[in-house]
Amino acid sequence: MTTDQSQKLFEEAQQLFPGGVNSPVRAFRSVGGSPLFFAKGSGAQVWDADGNSYIDYVGSWGAALLGHAHPSAVAAVQAAVTLGFGFGAPHAIESQLAQLVQQCFPALEKMRFVSSGTEATMSALRVARGFTKRDKIIKFAGCYHGHADALLVKAGSGAATFGTPDSLGVPADFAQHTLVARYNHLQSVEALFDAHPNAIAAVIIEPVVGNMGVVPPQRGFLNQLQELCRAKGALLIIDEVMTGFRLARGGATELFGLAPDLVCLGKVVGGGLPVGVYGGRKEIMEQISPLGGVYQAGTLSGNPIAMAAGLATLKELMQPGFYPSLQEKTAYFTEAFRSLLSAKGLPWQLQTTGSMWTLFFTETPVVDWESAAKSNTSAFGRFFHAALEKGISLPPSQFESAFISFRHEKADFYKTLNVFDAIL
Ligand code: PMP
């Protein structure tokens, strides 16, 4: 397998972008080597700039639930682009997409479209603070909610991967209102509420963590957290940027029977184009300008091409049988993977929820950031490169989720597991 083109492109990109990339985890720094440049994708497959093909488990970091270049999304985007790229004015597709979002997530009585997950969480926190007239927020160590200043405190994903969970350039004054609790540990949240009475505006959480690798919530944890927030007059913000539409039509909110005050969405909702959403209870969302005093805006918010991609995507996943089929694929893969690990006597933790999975190179179950951080990242790096060499593309970090798409077939899993059998 040659990767000369990718290497050439990377040399050029390094002259232009910090680390040669436009988002840090893409740079392969934690696994070593230099990144591949991708040229195209179709279904569950991607091709690099040298023409090598891979079974893809990155899936545009979760956005590609339907696989790459799904024909109905492609057709919808092609139809939309001929009508103009955006007007900075309202148009009909925004409401059509919002209605489908609402069918999946009834908790979004009112919502706003933005252009990224970062914007969604940042704006949700602002409205939570505006509504409660409180300043402090609670997040969990190892959870990542985008790169807004106040959220780059003990953050997961790339921040954890590169050992910079607390970013330079965030003034202490900006981070002083961010309190950090331990995931799956309700007492740590209670202690923060006790230490800061009537000061906490909101708790923001990844309901199933993807950004320290996949860490599911322990039984009852999310529901108890919800009750605690209610009792303390703080809002519960469920960050479903990764889990929304993926774990179920209504994401983790549906899966765990939650009633959040605010929900953030991203990735799948734009079908791979830049869309984020935040929304929730009407009286909270009506605090936003022009109705209320909380300001939030966006030139490209509700962009018609992105809305068209999102609409076509949501229509596909609302077909009867979509989630049972995804679940069946996922169960087939994870069960076979588990049997392989036990047949080989390997102690590694395969952690999954729905179509999200991570193989942690550690011998004890991962329940929070402390246990995730015990993983052998060098062993992960070797696994990553051996898989890539044999045509399997995984996220280039131990602290990320891999994703199965609707277009992965048994033949893909068969090939993947044969590779894993050979390299593990
Ligand atoms: N929240 C979660 C849970 C995420 O996984 C991400 C991105 N991986 C974000 C927020 C930020 O989204 P974006 O990268 O689109 O800004």
Are 115 and 300 a contacting pair, CB within 8 Å? yes
Taking only the tens place, the pLDDT of each residue in 100-141 is 999 999 999 999 999 999 999 999 999 999 999 999 999 999
Atom of ligand 1 nearest to the CA of 118: 16
Mean pLDDT over each residue of the chain, to the nearest integer: 97
CA-closest candidate to residue 159, choices 149, 169, 167, 151: 167
By alpha-carbon position, which residue is closest to atom 12 of ligand 1? 117
Atom of ligand 1 nearest to the CA of 117: 12
Could you tell me the distance, in angstroms and rounded to a whole number, from the CA of residue 340 to the centre of ligand 1? 32
Could you tell me the distance, in angstroms and rounded to a whole number, from the CA of residue 215 to the centre of ligand 1? 16
Could you tell me the distance, in angstroms and rounded to a whole number, from the CA of residue 344 to the centre of ligand 1? 35
Q: What is the mean pLDDT of residues 374-387?
A: 98
Atom of ligand 1 nearest to the CA of 211: 5
Residue of 209, 241, 301 with the most ligand 1 atoms within 8 Å of its CB, for mutation: 241
Could you tell me the distance, in angstroms and rounded to a whole number, from the CA of residue 158 to the centre of ligand 1? 11
Question: pLDDT category, 220, cuts 50, 70, 90?
Answer: very high
By alpha-carbon position, which residue is closest to atom 5 of ligand 1? 242
Q: Assess whether pLDDT exceeds 80 at residue 163.
A: no
In whole angstroms, give the CA distance from residue 283 to residue 275: 24
pLDDT score recorded for residue 173:
87
Q: Which residue has the tokens 């569950």?
A: 44
CA-closest candidate to residue 310, choices 114, 110, 146, 125: 114
Could you tell me the distance, in angstroms and rounded to a whole number, from the CA of residue 347 to the centre of ligand 1? 30
Cross-strand partners of 181: 140
Are 108 and 277 a contacting pair, CB within 8 Å? yes
pLDDT score recorded for residue 161:
74
Atom of ligand 1 nearest to the CA of 61: 8
Active-site residue list: 144, 239, 267
pLDDT score recorded for residue 164:
66
Q: Assess whether pLDDT exceeds 90 at residue 391.
A: yes
Q: Assess whether pLDDT exceeds 90 at residue 158.
A: no
Structure tokens at 122: 């940042």
Atom of ligand 1 nearest to the CA of 267: 15
Residues within 6 Å of ligand 1 by CB: 61, 116-118, 121, 144-146, 157, 206, 210-211, 239, 241-242, 266
Q: What is the mean pLDDT of residues 130-157?
A: 94
pLDDT score recorded for residue 322:
98
Atom of ligand 1 nearest to the CA of 274: 15
Could you tell me the distance, in angstroms and rounded to a whole number, from the CA of residue 246 to the centre of ligand 1? 14
Residue of 26, 60, 145, 247 with the most ligand 1 atoms within 8 Å of its CB, for mutation: 145
Question: pLDDT category, 200, cuts 50, 70, 90?
Answer: very high
Are 52 and 3 a contacting pair, CB within 8 Å? yes
By alpha-carbon position, which residue is closest to atom 1 of ligand 1? 145
Residue of 60, 267, 358, 400 with the most ligand 1 atoms within 8 Å of its CB, for mutation: 267
Could you tell me the distance, in angstroms and rounded to a whole number, from the CA of residue 366 to the centre of ligand 1? 21
